[in-house]
Structure 1
Amino acid sequence: MGEKRDPVGEKEIVEKFQALRSEREDLASSLYARGADLQEHEVVIRALQPLEGKRRCYRLIGDVLVERTVAEVLPAVQHNRDQLSEVVKSLKSKMEVKQKELGDFQAKFKIRMRGEGPQEPSPSPKPAAANASQGVLVGSS
């Protein structure tokens, strides 16, 4: 994990680039899911706030639906929302760092994705085996 050496060959560069993209996509997916959870908590809080504190409500804890009062549930949901908000902030920060790392790596090794930037004309289509890099172009230094 503490490996910080630069990749040597084109294959290593492509693998490292794809790993960075995968990490970024994992962060984005997690950020999206936690953001959706946060929005759901906001909806529940808005629905519970105007209700009387001793009114019955039901809360799903794990796989068990339990009966509680609004006064018991609302603070717990607000606490969970606050924790989710911190997680979302942390994920956004990690996402920005990973995006910068990916951009720096891309610039350092002159990597372009198909459809990005100026394209050099291709004289003839290449066979499928030549496309093993999965759309990643690596420029020589």
Structure 2
Amino acid sequence: MWSRIFGLSDAEPAPAGLLEHLQQSGLSVRGQFRGDDLGWTAAELSVGTGTPVYLERYLVKEDNLREDLNVWAGILETCDYSPFAQVLMEKVIQSKQMITLRKPIDHNNESQLEDLLDWTCRWLAQATEGIYQVDGAGWFDANGMRLIEEY
């Protein structure tokens, strides 16, 4: 399962800030970040044992993501049953960065893993002035309020 954060800001979310937030939320999480001169581009977040959560950070301008964003905007365009579809579509189109999270399938503590994913998505959405989408769950604002449910 994948989660995607669509950030309106191009500011790099601080790795130390994310780890501090997760630890203050009660998770004993370890993180490894790697990147380049534009900031971190990939990370692994580990809590408990099992495969870590993998994150990838893409900058729209540098990584040529315009076509990908147009696809996501097109998906939102089909959600005309929601009063939030238009606003979310505009935010996706205006995104300056996208961060993906991949949920591992072999974690020994599903509840802990769900907390890690939820709190990471919320923090990253807030840090990038964005929104997020979770496969099979829907579209959310930075506070975790579901705006569109996926069916």
Q: Into which bin does the TM-score normalised by the smaller protein fall? A: under 0.3
TM superposition score normalised by structure 2? 0.25
Of structures 1 and 2, the one scoring higher in RCO (CA 8 A, sep 6+) is 2
TM superposition score normalised by structure 1? 0.26
Greater strand share, structure number: 2
Greater helix share, structure number: 1
